[in-house]
């Protein structure tokens, strides 16, 4: 087993044993928060809305790993206005990550979906695994973890290679492709094909609608001003949620009685709920959107950014191609072969370190509590700066550079590398996700050379996975090994030294 996978399993186990090791360096106790209020806090909130990654980075540079923004608009209160009805706490670094992620009863994750008023479809669809705690969380986590564990994923290996090959072989050699769409389609076809009972027009359409809805949540308008008035983004989101819920329930009803142990949706529909009752519509509508989003979005993001990084780092791309050819010969990349490719493993880890697919996570305090010994009020929201934690220079020297070779001498804990989260809620899909990315990447690289069009602008947005804001066009060549970087522009250069 690869070291990181082993670490993930250890942390899951150690959590059960109430882990207390100090592998992540000094405990967070004693870390003093910087407290900003009023106009100063508002300034940072606006910067966060405009460009979250550069904002958290500058905030960290100026004030350190623990920043409290309070009383931003003391006269504005709304239970769902995430950014203005603060306190908002920004944290970075393994010790603070650990303190929060190890205690999910106090620090509840927020749903990927927007949520909404009582009895609305939007509210029901935001009630998946990520919003649960206690016995209900344990019940569904156990149910969904079964098809995602190592042995089950390995059973899917041959089919995963076939699905990757079928999609990628149809890419148009000699033409210009839009890289985000291609990465999205390739990963989606594997995920829907293997974890949702097969890809068809309906499952694709649902995946698209779920992606649009999560994007609306993380767009600043709906977050800050959840006003249910005609023509507001919030009203549009409520309407879209109602339509999506209908489609999900109709689609899920076709799975009744089909107990496919690999199909996550069929498990939710057919297995008893946490109280031993048959799953009702609210349970089904609550789980399926966040499972779709969780299973597809982060992998697509990783695949896309890894392709960009390889296109812009010819030396690494050339070494990786050599390694893959040595191991594969003319064979289609299998799951076993990609697991035995150390450089591929390092390339994927380094890409996820530099551009974590979920660069910021959010938690909400369920009660008055403390963080690093300082009082935090109930309902405060904490932004966990994964993007900053995977750039700590003492752990990752030259943190803005893409240096896969660093992985031959480092072995961070999940709290130092919280790309899949860490602690009791660590991503249960990491093994599937990692293997899907590696198989797809190896299939693409052994067939094609991707050259980004010179002068292309690459900007990004966060929803909550990081993806490009506009099309990224690239020429698709048959693989000839003639890798060469091309000049590109855009905000990506603020976060990666190319
Ligand atoms: C590159 C691939 C992936 C990445 C980077 C990723 C990342 C994450 C992250 C950061 C979390 C939050 C953990 C936390 O709150 O501490 C998470 C949770 C989760 N992920 Fe993934 N994920 C990936 C693939 C998948 C796949 C393929 C599935 C399949 C269904 C999946 C299902 C989930 C679920 C159900 C949760 C919620 C766990 C819980 O709350 O107990 N993920 N993932």
Phi, psi of 254 (to 5 degrees): -70, -10
pLDDT in the model for residue 24: 59
Write the CATH number for 112: 1.10.630.10
**Residue owning the nearest CA to atom 12 of ligand 1:** 421
How far apart CA 23 and CA 45 sit, in angstroms, is 33
Q: Which domain holds residue 359?
A: 3-495
Q: With beta carbons less than 8 A apart as the criterion, state whether 216 and 240 touch.
A: yes
Give Cα 466 distance to the centre of its chain. Answer: 8
Residue 298, ligand 1, Cβ within 6 A: yes
Beta-carbon count within 10 A of 434 CB: 25
**Geometric angle at alpha carbon 19, from 13 and 21, rounded to 5°:** 125
Residue 129, ligand 1, Cβ within 6 A: yes
Helix (H) or strand (E) segment spanning residue 315: helix 314-328
How far apart CA 28 and CA 157 sit, in angstroms, is 41
pLDDT in tens, 35-60: 999 889 989 989 998 899 999 999 99
Centroid of ligand 1 to alpha carbon of 228 (angstroms): 31
CA-wise closest residue to 91 among 349, 365, 294: 365
Residue 302, ligand 1, Cβ within 6 A: yes
Residues of the chain with pLDDT under 50: 1-22, 81
The residues facing 177 across adjacent strands are 474
Spatial CB neighbours of 455, under 8 Å, sequence gap ≥ 6: 487, 488, 489
Instruction: Pull the structure tokens for residue 472.
Output: 């990224």
CA-wise closest residue to 65 among 28, 116, 38, 98: 28
Probe target for ligand 1 pocket from 186, 191, 383, 427, with the most ligand atoms within 8 Å of CB: 427
Probe target for ligand 1 pocket from 12, 132, 294, with the most ligand atoms within 8 Å of CB: 294
- DSSP assignment of 431-475 equals HHHHHHHHHHHHHHHHHEEEEEPTT-B--EEESSSEEESS--EEE
Ligand 1, atom nearest to 291 Cα = 30
Centroid of ligand 1 to alpha carbon of 474 (angstroms): 30
Ligand 1, atom nearest to 357 Cα = 5
How far apart CA 368 and CA 363 sit, in angstroms, is 14
How far apart CA 115 and CA 121 sit, in angstroms, is 8
User: What angle do helix axes 342-354 and 430-447 make, rounded to 10 degrees?
Assistant: 110
pLDDT in the model for residue 231: 82
Spatial CB neighbours of 371, under 8 Å, sequence gap ≥ 6: 28, 33, 66, 89, 91, 96, 99, 100, 382
How far apart CA 346 and CA 407 sit, in angstroms, is 6
Beta-carbon count within 10 A of 429 CB: 22
29-to-96, 171, 303, 376 alpha-carbon distances in Å: 9, 53, 37, 14
pLDDT in the model for residue 29: 63
| Edge-first strand listing for the sheet containing 448-452 | 176-178, 473-478, 448-452
Ligand 1, atom nearest to 432 Cα = 27
Alpha helices in 51-149 (DSSP H): 52-63, 94-101, 121-125, 134-148
**Residue owning the nearest CA to atom 16 of ligand 1:** 421
Residue 359, ligand 1, Cβ within 6 A: no
**Geometric angle at alpha carbon 347, from 351 and 149, rounded to 5°:** 85
Beta-carbon count within 10 A of 134 CB: 10
The DSSP code for 423 is G
The length of the chain, given as a count of residues: 498
**Residue owning the nearest CA to atom 42 of ligand 1:** 429
Spatial CB neighbours of 188, under 8 Å, sequence gap ≥ 6: 199, 204, 207, 296, 300
Residue 433, ligand 1, Cβ within 6 A: yes
SS3 state of residue 255: coil
Beta-carbon count within 10 A of 18 CB: 7
**Residue owning the nearest CA to atom 20 of ligand 1:** 427
Q: With beta carbons less than 8 A apart as the criterion, state whether 298 and 386 touch.
A: no
**Residue owning the nearest CA to atom 3 of ligand 1:** 298
Pairing of strands 361-365, 88-91: unpaired
Residue 127, ligand 1, Cβ within 6 A: no
Number of structural domains the chain divides into:
1
Residue 187, ligand 1, Cβ within 6 A: no
How much of the chain is in helix, strand and coil states, percent to nearest 5? 50, 10, 40
Half-sphere exposure of 338 (CA within 13 A, CB side): 28
């Amino acid at each position: 087993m690869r070291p990181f996978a082993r670490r993930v399993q250890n942390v899951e186990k150690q959590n059960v044993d109430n882990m207390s090791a100090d592998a992540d360096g000094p405990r967070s106790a004693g870390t003093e928060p910087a407290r900003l209020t009023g106009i100063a806090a508002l300034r940072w909130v606006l910067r966060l809305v405009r460009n979250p990654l550069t904002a958290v980075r500058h905030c960290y540079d100026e004030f350190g790993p623990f920043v409290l923004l309070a009383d931003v608009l003391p006269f504005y209160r709304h239970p769902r206005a995430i950014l203005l009805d603060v306190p908002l706490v920004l944290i970075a670094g393994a010790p603070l990550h650990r303190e929060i992620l190890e205690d999910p009863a106090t620090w509840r994750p927020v749903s990927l979906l927007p949520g909404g008023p009582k009895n609305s479809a939007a509210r029901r669809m935001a009630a998946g695994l990520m919003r649960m705690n206690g016995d209900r969380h344990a019940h569904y986590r156990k149910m969904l973890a079964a098809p995602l564990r190592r042995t089950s994923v390995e059973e899917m290996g041959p089919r995963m290679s076939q699905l990757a090959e079928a999609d990628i072989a149809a890419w148009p050699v000699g033409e210009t492709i839009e890289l985000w769409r291609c990465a999205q389609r390739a990963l989606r076809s594997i995920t829907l094909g293997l974890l949702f009972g097969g890809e068809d027009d309906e499952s694709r359409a649902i995946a698209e609608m779920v992606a649009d809805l999560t994007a609306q949540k993380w767009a600043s308008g709906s977050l800050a001003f959840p006003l249910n008035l005609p023509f507001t983004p919030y009203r549009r989101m409520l309407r879209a949620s109602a339509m999506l819920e209908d489609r999900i329930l109709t689609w899920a009803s076709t799975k009744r009685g089909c107990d496919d142990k690999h199909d996550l949706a069929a498990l939710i529909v057919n297995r008893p709920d946490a109280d031993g009752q048959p799953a009702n519509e609210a349970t089904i509508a609550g789980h399926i959107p966040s499972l779709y989003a969780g299973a597809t979005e982060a992998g697509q993001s990783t695949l896309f950014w890894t392709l960009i990084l390889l296109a812009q780092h010819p030396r690494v791309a050339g070494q990786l191609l050599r390694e893959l050819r040595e191991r594969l010969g003319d064979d289609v990349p299998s799951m076993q072969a990609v697991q035995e490719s150390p450089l591929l493993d390092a390339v994927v880890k380094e890409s996820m370190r530099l551009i974590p697919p979920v660069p910021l996570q959010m938690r909400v305090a369920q009660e008055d509590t403390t963080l690093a010994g300082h009082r935090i009020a109930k309902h405060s929201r904490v932004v966990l700066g994964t993007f900053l934690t995977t750039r700590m220079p003492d752990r990752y020297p030259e943190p803005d550079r893409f240096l896969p070779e660093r992985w031959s001498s480092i072995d961070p804990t999940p709290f130092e590398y919280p790309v899949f989260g860490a602690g009791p809620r660590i991503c249960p899909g990491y093994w599937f996700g990692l293997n899907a990315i590696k198989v797809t990447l190896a299939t693409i690289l052994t067939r094609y050379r991707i050259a980004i069009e010179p002068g292309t602008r690459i900007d990004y947005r966060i929803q909550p996975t990081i993806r490009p804001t506009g099309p990224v066009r690239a020429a698709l060549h048959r693989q000839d090994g003639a890798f060469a970087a091309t000049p590109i522009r855009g905000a990506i250069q603020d976060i990666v030294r190319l």
